[in-house]
Amino acid sequence: MIKPAKLLVGSNNRGKLREYAELLRGIHFELTTLSGLGITEEVEESGSNLKQNAIRKATAYAKLSGLTTMADDSGLEVDALGGEPGPLSRRYAGDNVSDKERNDYLLAKLRNIPWEKRTARFRAVIAIATPDGKVKTAEGVCEGIIAFDSKGAGGFGYDPIFYLPELDKRMAELSLAEKNKISHRAKAAQKARRILERLAKQ
What are the residue numbers of the active site?
Answer: 73
- The alpha-carbon radius of gyration of the chain (Å, integer) is 17
Task: Look at residues 120, 131, 155, 127 and name the one whose alpha carbon lies nearest to residue 49.
Answer: 127
Calpha distance 11→166 (Å, rounded): 30
Q: Can you tell me whether residue 74 is helix, strand or coil?
A: strand
Number of residues in the chain: 202
β-strands 169-170, 68-78 pairing = unpaired
